Structure 1
Amino acid sequence: MMLIKLGRSPDEVITVSPADDARILRRIDLALLPLMLSVYFLQALDKATLSYASIFGLIDDTDLVGDEFSWLGSIVYLAQLLMQLPLAWALVKLPIGKFTSAMVFAWGITLTCMTWAHNFGQLMTARFFLGAFEACVGPAFVAITQMWWRRREQTLRIGSWYCMNGLTWVFGSLITYGLASIDSHLKPYQIIFLFFGVVTVAVSGAMFFWMPDSPTEAKFLSDEDKVLAIERLRNNQMGVMSREWRYAHFFEALRDLKTWLWVIMIFCISVPSNGISTFGPLIIKSFVTDPYKTILFNVPVGLSHVLAVSLSAYASMKWKVKGPVIALLCIPPIVGFSIMLHFPHDTDHRAILLAGYFCLSTFTGITPLIYSWSAQNTAGDTKRKCTSAMVFIGSSAGNIFGPLLFTPDEAPAYSRGLRANIVFFALVLLLVGITSLYLKHLNSDHAKRRVALGKSAIVLDMSLETAEEENGVQPDDVRGRKAFADITDLENEDFVFVF
């Protein structure tokens, strides 16, 4: 137990004042978020280099035919799918900061080596290893977020590092535009691979030295502040890092219905997500013929992605719900895909097609909400890591399938992929309703268990409140005793599910 290492009993409830809470939260944000934002930005950018490279001649220079380019988009996620369960074990057993930085270093080296890939086989090999090493980042960052932040704070933090996907479109497009303009014996896409690969290697070194493996090992906190940093998480009722793999937690994650609801939900949103990410520049190119202008169109698209993620994360935190916000975010993409299906992809319809394309931007707000929704409703160290792995398996499966709905032969309309994506967004709407009802049922079941044990049926979930709001409530010592036990959400009758 982390508190025992610091000379405190986990049953001892310690008062954290609003001032101390705000001070420690600020220190945590300043110490961890810059590293997490930088790494996730590069992870998103390193995958996006393929779509940028397609505009600057990669397909022709490497003699890609048929659906080979589509497979280059999918193979990254096939590797990530295969890596998730081994990574779940590694994230429980190994120091999370050092392990993650080693994986970042390995993918930076892989991307650098892609500079000299000249055919489909070499590109596929490099993209596979790129995906295998990058597979760690999402699950590790969810685990780090659970380890350091209250449930109220987690959605904004997950949203903040997921915003880097949108900033990739903005700064990645601008940087790519500049790199592609360099006069060199290297091809523009080779310069892109080389530059971002070297930058990723450099960032991995910073992460190795600065990312702590747990709150007890954080150099930026005093011993007293470490105690307070852990105590602020008591109301999460999610347990703490244990470094012990529990098979009972693993099998409970497999049996848990809500886990599979999130897996299917993330699959349904990942299909259109990666399809548009991979083929988006080619769709724009169908009515904006200049490749440099095509790249620059990504800037406002990226800004709209950042806006969608930020506003949806804030709304979810403010309203203390996830399902209704996700449902609202599904509507604009359905409208956007319908517009792009209805109008011919030519310069005469550029304005309406661009409007439809911008409608798709809200889909980027859905994925981080699903990540945080599943993370906030799962307790027990092994179960948290396994549930996260399964969610990312669903994401990887959807990302594999997404680009295969689009093929260059169907350019410029890509009607099959657009129709399929409408169906997937409709399925997300349905799954949101089912999941919300199931979580409400679990809360009711836990209330009955509390009554049977002589406790109050109604408990205040202060993990979704501000420190000031929590400060006015008398701590419940009985409920707090299980907060740092390594037990699951289904085992702990005091756990409150959020929907």
Structure 2
Amino acid sequence: MSLFKRNSAAVSITETKPSIQHAENANEDGSPRASKEKDVQPAAVTGCDGQIVDEETAKYLDSSIVIDAETNTQIKRMAIDKGTLAASSVMGIQTDNKLHGQQYALLGTILYIGILIGELPVNQLIQRVRVAKFLGSIIICWGILVCCHAACHDWSSLMAVRFLLGLCEAGVQPCLMTLTAMYYRRVEHPTIISYWYCQQGVQLMVSGLLSFALLHIKRGPVKSWQALFILCGGLSICWGTAVLLFLPDSPMKAKCWDDERKTLILERLRVNEQGVQNRHFKSEHLRETLKDPVVWTYLVLQLASFIIVGGLAVFANIIVKGLGFTTYQTQLLNLAQGAWSILIYIGSAWMARSLNQTILIMIAFMTVALIGTIVLDVVPVTHHTAAGLLIAFYLANCCIVSGNLLWSLVTRNIAGQTKKTTVFTLMFVAFALGNIIGPQVFRSTDSPRYHNAFAGHIALYAFFIVMSIVLRILLMRRNSQRKTALAAADGSTPPAEDAVIGNHRDAFSDLTDLQNTQAFLYMY
């Protein structure tokens, strides 16, 4: 079986035995740099004329990469732990801890203040440490803190635990993003990221069933909401230990593959034009990031979307119960909401990949969410309208696809390790700020309909749609300029919109997307 396709001739890597250097040990021009033996790790040769793994081998590699299962499980664990606050909101945590006014909303906000404070130092650490080991340690600490919620008996202690929980979460998603980018091609990112966002839907279903079961605890030293935190936290500790012991830090560190297969894994990533991992900080990448209007458009979209999503996540059960449903019904309805979340995550990813139109699909789903929000805001609650308003609430939850689709745009369209790390940091800062602001939009004086909050969401949807159109125009213009310039240089006709340019010679040279004008095209 041929393992590579190179210049239309089948070549076996076992016959050619190429010199293998890690991308982080390359010079600025992409040529291998001499390094100590301990620093050398298997990777594809830089400067090759576009080695591409053949289709049969690519299918084998897809089946052998287990990082997606690891990230899916961690997202599910993290989502369940975070969802415990929303689930416990109707299980007695507010009464037992004497919460009043905006104190419950502040419990949702303080988590993201911790994330905001932790983002910069944690993202700098990720570029310098063993990612999987760092992730496993964070998950164990996370689980311990989730268990600590059960020991809290007032607002102050809950705030302290939630803040520390935020510091832990600051490192979880950046680690998962980094690991995903190490293993998967750009074209696969919408599907992969959507798969692990689907775990939030699984979270709603699992936490709904757990909450419904634990609500039947009527007596004893442990109350139902306390049992929920202890159970979820304990499972996270077990999972963190498994991640610490078994998850590889990169394709080059995976013990299940020999050097040949490690090289194949990196060869399938050559087309990304993003490299794999480079631990050298480059100040020019930082300057480029801060001057790039596309980056700032991503950040504005991230902030707007998570003001909406963050508020709905914290107040979902309260909103549903306010439509006239009982506590037991509200918890069971999480099953329907979770299934709906999974459906729209997978559906949006499938449409984005099939039609190759990520931004247009994102706009379509946000328009549906806008319609659902308008219905929630203007239709009064009666016995006859409760079911219709519940459907409108589910339609409003279409806004969640902005997370997976926007992140898939970022991971595919940002190249250069320092630039990528910086953009990830800024994106998570915007994510944290959105989730800080989001719960505060829901004022206790507006409960249970929250008309003012939904009016604010309507304005944010309109803003998001306009900025999405701006982003698409910016990316289309950059692609057009690059193709026109290349055509003028060799006197040919500009390539088609979806054509691949270049030979991937600089794929592992740690060039940014703006520097790599010969081969990098934006995906939108």
Question: Partner letter of residue 126 of structure 1?
Answer: V
Residue 523 of structure 2 corresponds to 498
**1:2 matches 2:22:** yes
Q: Is the 8 A contact 2:183 2:265 kept in 1?
A: yes
2:508 paired residue among 469, 473, 484: 484
d(CA) in 2 for partners of 1:457 and 1:114?
64
For structure 1, which segment, 380-389 or 180-189, has the greater mean C-alpha deviation from structure 2 after superposition? 180-189
Q: State how many pairs are aligned.
A: 485
TM-score by length of 1: 0.93
1:412-431 equivalences in 2 (<5 Å): 412-431=448-467
d(CA) in 2 for partners of 1:354 and 1:7?
52
**CA deviation string 1:308-361 (max 9, x = no partner):** 010001111111121100010012211111111122234342122112112123
Question: Partner letter of residue 44 of structure 1?
Answer: A
**1:371 matches 2:396:** no
Residue 173 of structure 1 corresponds to 208
For structure 1, which segment, 344-353 or 292-301, has the greater mean C-alpha deviation from structure 2 after superposition? 344-353
The percentage of counterpart residues that share the same residue type is 26
Q: Is the 8 A contact 2:126 2:175 kept in 1?
A: yes
Distance verdict in 2 for CA 1:378–1:463, change over 3 Å:
farther
1:185-334 equivalences in 2 (<5 Å): 185-334=221-370
Q: Is the 8 A contact 1:345 1:412 kept in 2?
A: no
Give the superposition deviation at 1:378: 0.4
Q: Is the 8 A contact 1:151 1:463 kept in 2?
A: no
**Unpaired runs of 5+ in structure 2?**
1-20, 24-39
Question: Partner letter of residue 22 of structure 1?
Answer: K
**CA deviation string 1:439-462 (max 9, x = no partner):** 112113323553576596746898
Give the superposition deviation at 1:163: 0.7
3-state SS of the aligned residue for 1:93?
A: coil
For structure 1, which segment, 122-131 or 285-294, has the greater mean C-alpha deviation from structure 2 after superposition? 285-294
d(CA) in 2 for partners of 1:135 and 1:179?
30
Q: Is the 8 A contact 1:239 1:380 kept in 2?
A: yes
1:14 paired residue among 32, 45, 51: 51
Residue 24 of structure 1 corresponds to 61
Distance verdict in 2 for CA 1:370–1:128, change over 3 Å:
same
Give the superposition deviation at 1:148: 0.5
d(CA) in 1 for partners of 2:499 and 2:221?
57
**1:392 matches 2:417:** no
Give the superposition deviation at 1:15: 4.2
Distance verdict in 2 for CA 1:455–1:90, change over 3 Å:
farther
Give the superposition deviation at 1:208: 1.0
**1:135 matches 2:170:** yes
Residue 120 of structure 2 corresponds to 85
**CA deviation string 1:287-306 (max 9, x = no partner):** 33421111111110111111
Distance verdict in 2 for CA 1:244–1:455, change over 3 Å:
farther
1:146 paired residue among 170, 177, 181: 181
Give the superposition deviation at 1:134: 1.1
d(CA) in 1 for partners of 2:395 and 2:315?
16
2:94 paired residue among 40, 44, 59: 59
3-state SS of the aligned residue for 2:514?
A: coil
Distance verdict in 2 for CA 1:340–1:462, change over 3 Å:
closer
3-state SS of the aligned residue for 1:438?
A: helix
3-state SS of the aligned residue for 2:127?
A: helix
d(CA) in 1 for partners of 2:320 and 2:356?
37
Q: Is the 8 A contact 1:288 1:294 kept in 2?
A: no
d(CA) in 2 for partners of 1:415 and 1:439?
36
The alignment's C-alpha RMSD in Å is 2.0
1:395-406 equivalences in 2 (<5 Å): 395-406=431-442
TM-score by length of 2: 0.89
Question: Partner letter of residue 158 of structure 1?
Answer: I
Q: Is the 8 A contact 2:68 2:180 kept in 1?
A: no
Distance verdict in 2 for CA 1:458–1:205, change over 3 Å:
farther
Q: Is the 8 A contact 1:164 1:306 kept in 2?
A: yes
Q: Is the 8 A contact 1:240 1:485 kept in 2?
A: no
3-state SS of the aligned residue for 2:513?
A: coil
d(CA) in 2 for partners of 1:445 and 1:461?
11
For structure 1, which segment, 208-217 or 2-11, has the greater mean C-alpha deviation from structure 2 after superposition? 2-11
For structure 1, which segment, 231-240 or 10-19, has the greater mean C-alpha deviation from structure 2 after superposition? 10-19
Q: Is the 8 A contact 2:149 2:161 kept in 1?
A: yes
Distance verdict in 2 for CA 1:227–1:456, change over 3 Å:
farther
d(CA) in 2 for partners of 1:316 and 1:425?
20
Q: Is the 8 A contact 2:43 2:263 kept in 1?
A: no
3-state SS of the aligned residue for 2:503?
A: helix
Distance verdict in 2 for CA 1:52–1:483, change over 3 Å:
same
d(CA) in 2 for partners of 1:457 and 1:39?
48
Residue 137 of structure 2 corresponds to 102
Larger Rg: 2
More contact order relative to length (CA 8 Å, sep ≥ 6): 1
1:451-462 equivalences in 2 (<5 Å): 458=494
Q: Is the 8 A contact 2:487 2:494 kept in 1?
A: no
Residue 469 of structure 2 corresponds to 433
Q: Is the 8 A contact 1:235 1:461 kept in 2?
A: no
d(CA) in 2 for partners of 1:300 and 1:463?
41
Q: Is the 8 A contact 1:81 1:393 kept in 2?
A: yes
